[in-house]
Structure 1
C-alpha cells in the first residue's frame, strides 16, 4: 500500500482543473428525507424537501467545497436540475461532475447501457439540465460489456473533441480497464467504491496515484462495526479532537495525494463536519493504526 503524509488541500483534475480535496456527492438529494438512506434507497424522484436541498448545496459552496458529483441516472435527471437551480451560473470555481451510462427503467433497477449514441444523447441532456455549454468532468457510469470499450470511450472522446466535455473519467473499473480506456482517450478521474470497510480497489488507488489520476471514492465514510468506541479509528479521532467520520476522511486524504472523497449527506451539520476534515493531519503512526483495521466484506452498493 503506497501512502503519503503530504496532504495538499487542492488537486488539479486532468492537470488543469483544481478542486479542493473534499467534494460533495449529491446522489442522496432525492425523494423524501427518511427514504434516501441505506443501500436500498431508490434515488428515483426529486427531493420532497427541495428548498432544504437547495440550501444545502449552496452551503457546501460557502464551506469551500467546489466539486459537486451527480449523474443523469440520479432521479432521472432531477438531481442535475436541482444542482443547476441551486448553483447556476456556478460562480467562482465550482465544478460539477456528472456520469452517463446507466438507465433506470424502474425505482429498483440500475442497468448499464453503453450504446455510443445513447451516451452522447445523455450528455446532451445533461448539458441542458445543468445549463452549461461544457461539462467539466464527464464519467462513464459503468463500462457496458455489450459494446466495445473503444466505442464507449470513443463516444465520450467525440464530445470532448466537440468542446462539450473538458475531462473524461470512469466509474467502478479495474486497473486493466483504466489502462485500456487510456489508450483511447486521456482519463482524468476514476470513481470507485472505497472506504475503510471496503478496500477491494487498493490496486486502483495505487495505480491512479502513480498516473496522477484523480480517485473519487464514493461512500467514503461507510465505517461499520470496526469504528467502535474502543477501536483504532475512535482512538485516533480522540487524539485529533475530531469525529470518527472526519478521521475516516482524513485517512483517505492521506492514503494518496490524488484521492478526493465525495461524501454525501442531507444534514448541514454533517456537511460542515465533512468539509472540516480537509484540515486534519495524521502522523505516520496514526495512519498505520487506522490502516490496521480489517476491512469488512460485501459492502458493495450502487452509485
Structure 2
C-alpha cells in the first residue's frame, strides 16, 4: 500500500499530494474570489502542502494564500521560494542569490504570510553569479535565527545537490518531472537515497499525441482521466515524490486530489514507465 504522507526533513509530515499556487490569479475582482475559493477548498479536502514563491506576482501569491487561510489550520505547510528578483538592467526578473536579496525576500515572505517562521524555504534557482556557499550560507543563518525551519532547492543537478549538502541539510528538491519528462531521474534517485522530498513541478505532462494515447489507454482501463493517471503514476513512482499540481478551478482541484485513491496494476505501471520521450 502506497503511503499518502511523507515526513519532510524526517519530521514535518504532509500529505504527499499537494497544491501548487502559481496559476492562481491575484488581481482584485471575481478572479481573485475564485482563487480564494480554490485555496480554501484544497485545505478543506485535506491538502497540507501548498507551494508558492516570491516570483509569483512579486509576493502577491503569498499574500493571496494568507488572505485565504490565515489563521492557518494545524498541520498546514506553505512553502515558498526566494532567489529571483527584479534586478535586471530594465527591472526584469533574473536569478539573484545575493545574501541581501535572499534575506530581504525571506523577511517579506514572513510578513506577507503572517508567520514568524517559514517551515520549508526553497532556493528558487542557484544564481551562477553568486557563490553557492554565500547563497546557502545566508539561508543557514536565517535558519539559525529561527526564521526558516528547513532548506530546499529547485532545479538542481545531482552534482549541485551533493555540493549543497556539504553546506546545509537539504530537506527538499523541486525539479521538473512527469511521466513523459524524466530528465531529472538521477536527481530523484539521489533524493530517494537520502530521504529528501522530491516535489515535481509541471507534474502533468503535455506530451506528443502518441504518448498521450498511452496515458489515455490506461485512463480508459482505470475509469479515470489522463491527468489523474499522470498523478497516480507519480505517487507510485517513488515514496519521496510529493506532486504539487496547480489549477485555478475547483473542479480540476477535486479531479487532481482524487488521483490519490487510484491504484495502478503492475502492467499499467510498466506501460506508463515505457512512455518516456527521448530528450
The normalised TM-score by structure 1 is: 0.87
1:17 corresponds to which residue?
Answer: 12
Equivalents in 1 of 2:100, 2:211: separation in Å? 48
1:188 matched to 2:188? The reply is no
2:240 corresponds to which residue?
Answer: 258
1:77 corresponds to which residue?
Answer: 59
* Deviation (angstroms), 1:278: 1.1
1:208 corresponds to which residue?
Answer: 191
1:94 corresponds to which residue?
Answer: 76
Gap runs ≥5 in structure 1: 1-5, 32-44, 298-303
* Deviation (angstroms), 1:91: 0.9
1:61 equivalent among 10, 35, 43: 43
Equivalents in 2 of 1:222, 1:109: separation in Å? 29
CA contact (8 A) 1:26 1:79 kept: yes
The normalised TM-score by structure 2 is: 0.94
Runs of 4+ in 1 over 3 A off after TM superposition: 45-48, 104-110, 226-229
**Aligned pair in 2 of structure 1 residues 209, 103: CA closer, same or farther (>3 Å)?**
same
**Aligned pair in 2 of structure 1 residues 197, 108: CA closer, same or farther (>3 Å)?**
farther
**Aligned pair in 2 of structure 1 residues 222, 154: CA closer, same or farther (>3 Å)?**
same
Equivalents in 1 of 2:240, 2:12: separation in Å? 13
SS of the equivalent of 2:182 reads coil
1:131 corresponds to which residue?
Answer: 114
1:143 corresponds to which residue?
Answer: 126
Equivalents in 2 of 1:204, 1:116: separation in Å? 26
**Aligned pair in 2 of structure 1 residues 108, 287: CA closer, same or farther (>3 Å)?**
farther
CA contact (8 A) 1:214 1:258 kept: yes
CA contact (8 A) 1:29 1:47 kept: no
Q: CA RMSD in A?
A: 1.9
Equivalents in 1 of 2:91, 2:250: separation in Å? 28
1:241 equivalent among 220, 223, 229: 223
1:104 equivalent among 83, 86, 92: 86
CA contact (8 A) 2:54 2:109 kept: yes
- Equivalent pairs, count: 278
Q: Within 5 A, what are the aligned runs for 1:147-296?
A: 147-226=130-209, 231-295=213-277
Q: Deviations over 1:268-291 (max 9, x none)?
A: 111001111111111222111011
Equivalents in 2 of 1:123, 1:53: separation in Å? 24
CA contact (8 A) 1:47 1:53 kept: no
CA contact (8 A) 1:11 1:20 kept: yes
Q: Deviations over 1:196-255 (max 9, x none)?
A: 2321101011110111000000110123234667x3211211222111100000111111
CA contact (8 A) 1:253 1:260 kept: yes
